[in-house]
Amino acid sequence: MRRREFITLLAGAVASAPSAYAQHPRKVWRLGVLHPGSSPDPLLQVAKDSLRDLGYVEGRDIIYEIRWAEGKRDRLSELAAELVASKVDVIHAFTTPAALAARDATTTIPVIFSAVGDPVGTGLVPSLAHPGGNVTGISLLATELSAKRLEILREIAPDMSPVAMLWNDTNPSMTLRAKEMQDAAVKLDVRVQSVGVHEVIDLDPAFTTISGGGAAALFTMVDPFTLTHRKRIVEFAARHRMPAIYESREFVVAGGLVSYGPSNTAMQHRLAVYLDKVFKGAKPSELPVEQPTKFELVINVKTAKALGLTVPPSLIARADEVIE
C-alpha cells in the first residue's frame, strides 16, 4: 500500500470512530434556589453574575430553578420538596429558614446556604469546621456583631437609650441574634425594647409600640421580611427623628442613618465559589462553613444632618461608604 493511501485510510477511520474520539456533551447544571422573599432580589443577581464570571452561562451551563416563598415562611417546606422532586443537582438556600427547610427535604442533594446567622446554633451543621452531611455554605457571623453596632450608634447619638430592637420573631436565627443583642446591651448599660414583627399588618402596631415606649433610637435586624419593608422602617425612623442602625447597607441607601455588617455582595461572590467547587465534585461535608471577612460601615450624612446629629470625623474616616 502506498503511503498516501495509508494516510487517507487512517484519517477516515479516525473520523468514523463513534465514541473514542467524539466530544462529550457539556454538562448543564440545574441549580435550585430556595428564597423566602420575593422577586427580584439584587443579591441573587450578584450570585448569578459571579457564576457567569466563573464560566457558567445561563441556559448553556446552568439552569436556575427558583422558588420564591413571597414572605410566607410556611411555604418553604413545600417549595423545598418541589425542588427535590424536580431533581436539581444542587440547592442554594438563602437565609436560615430556607436552609432548614432544604436540609429537612433532602439528605442527598447538596445544600449550599448563604445569609445564615448561626449555622451551629440553629442546628444546620454540627460544627463550622466539619459540617458533615450534605449542608454547608456561607455564614453571616451576625451573632457576634451586636455590641459593635451599639457602640457605633452611641458614637453618633450618645443619648440613645433606650433602644427599640425591631426584628422578625419567627426566624430562629433572629431569635439567637436578639438574645446576643440583649446580652451586649446589658454590658454597655443600654436598655432595650424588644419588638417582634413578621407580618405586614404587624408593622404599624409595632411602630406605635416603639414610638409610645419612649425609645430614643432604633436597631433593626435584617432578614428577608425587614429588608422587603425597609422603606417603611426608614421612613418611620425619619418621621420620629430617631437615630437608627441597621445590619446592611440597603437600609442606608434607602435613607437610613448607618449600617454595619458583613458585605452581602462579597458573600454572594463566595457562594458562587462554593457552588463551583460542588459542581466540580467537592462534597459539602468536606467544605467548612465560611465566615465573612469583609465588613462594611455605611453612613448617610444627609440623614444625620436631618436628624440634627454630627457624625464624628473619626467614624467618617472608618466608613467604607459615605452617602452625602
Beta pairing partners, 32? 65, 91
Distance CA 274, CA 277 (A): 5
> Cβ neighbours of residue 288 under 8 Å, at least 6 residues apart?
128, 129, 130, 131, 136
Note whether residue 132 is domain-resident: yes
Residues 284, 311, single domain; the answer is no
Residues 124, 271, single domain; the answer is yes
Residues 74, 184, single domain; the answer is no
pLDDT (average), residues 10-33: 61
Note whether residue 16 is domain-resident: no
Note whether residue 1 is domain-resident: no
Residues 114, 165, single domain; the answer is no
Band (pLDDT 50/70/90 cuts) for residue 15 is very low
DSSP per position, 154-170: HHH-SS--SEEEEE-TT
Please compute, for residue 1, the number of CA atoms within 13 A of its CA located in the half-sphere on the CB side.
Answer: 8
pLDDT (average), residues 306-323: 96
Q: What integer pLDDT is reported at residue 7 of this predicted model? A: 41
Contact 135, 125 (CB under 8 A): yes
Per-residue pLDDT tens digits for 157-201: 998 999 999 999 888 878 888 888 999 999 999 999 999 998 888
pLDDT (average), residues 138-160: 87
Contact 237, 257 (CB under 8 A): yes
Question: Is the per-residue pLDDT at 222 higher than 70?
Answer: yes
Band (pLDDT 50/70/90 cuts) for residue 144 is low
Residues 311, 284, single domain; the answer is no
Contact 175, 223 (CB under 8 A): no
Beta pairing partners, 33? 66, 92
Per-residue pLDDT tens digits for 71-91: 888 999 999 999 999 999 999
Residues 181, 223, single domain; the answer is yes
Percent of the chain with pLDDT over 70: 91
Burial of 148 (0-12, 13-18, 19+ CB in 10 A): middle
Question: Is the per-residue pLDDT at 290 higher than 60?
Answer: yes
Per-residue pLDDT tens digits for 36-73: 988 888 889 999 999 999 999 999 999 999 999 988 88
Note whether residue 13 is domain-resident: no
Per-residue pLDDT tens digits for 92-138: 999 999 999 999 999 999 999 999 988 998 899 999 999 999 999 99
> Cβ neighbours of residue 45 under 8 Å, at least 6 residues apart?
none
Mean pLDDT of the chain: 90
Q: Helix axis angle, 203-212 relative to 230-239, nearest 10°? A: 30
Q: What integer pLDDT is reported at residue 19 of this predicted model? A: 43
Residues 82, 200, single domain; the answer is no
Nearest to 217 by CA among 155, 170, 260: 155
Query: What are the CA-CA distances from residue 322 to residues 244, 247, 250, 258, 306 (Å)?
Result: 16, 16, 13, 9, 15
Residues 92, 120, single domain; the answer is yes
- pTM score of the predicted model: 0.82
Angle at 101 between CA 95 and CA 107, to 5 degrees: 115
Percent of the chain with pLDDT over 90: 74
- Which domain, by its residues, includes 234? 143-263+296-323
CATH code of 116's domain = 3.40.50.2300
Q: What integer pLDDT is reported at residue 41 of this predicted model? A: 87
Q: What integer pLDDT is reported at residue 227 of this predicted model? A: 86
Residues 199, 168, single domain; the answer is yes
Query: What are the CA-CA distances from residue 31 to residues 63, 111, 226, 323 (Å)?
Result: 6, 10, 26, 36
Kindly report the backbone phi and psi dihedral angles of residue 264, in degrees, each rounded to the nearest multiple of 5, phi listed first.
-65, -35
Question: Is the per-residue pLDDT at 4 higher than 70?
Answer: no
Residues 104, 180, single domain; the answer is no
Neighbours of 70 (CB within 10 A): 14
Contact 299, 321 (CB under 8 A): yes
Neighbours of 102 (CB within 10 A): 30
Question: Is the per-residue pLDDT at 22 higher than 50?
Answer: no
Note whether residue 246 is domain-resident: yes
Query: What are the CA-CA distances from residue 24 to residues 58, 59, 69, 71, 155 (Å)?
Result: 19, 18, 38, 42, 61
Note whether residue 206 is domain-resident: yes
Q: Helix axis angle, 172-187 relative to 146-156, nearest 10°? A: 50
Residues 122, 233, single domain; the answer is no
The domain tally of the chain equals 2
Query: What are the CA-CA distances from residue 147 to residues 59, 82, 151, 184, 303 (Å)?
Result: 45, 40, 6, 5, 23
Note whether residue 91 is domain-resident: yes
Residues 268, 257, single domain; the answer is no
Per-residue pLDDT tens digits for 253-282: 999 999 999 998 999 999 999 999 999 999
Note whether residue 212 is domain-resident: yes
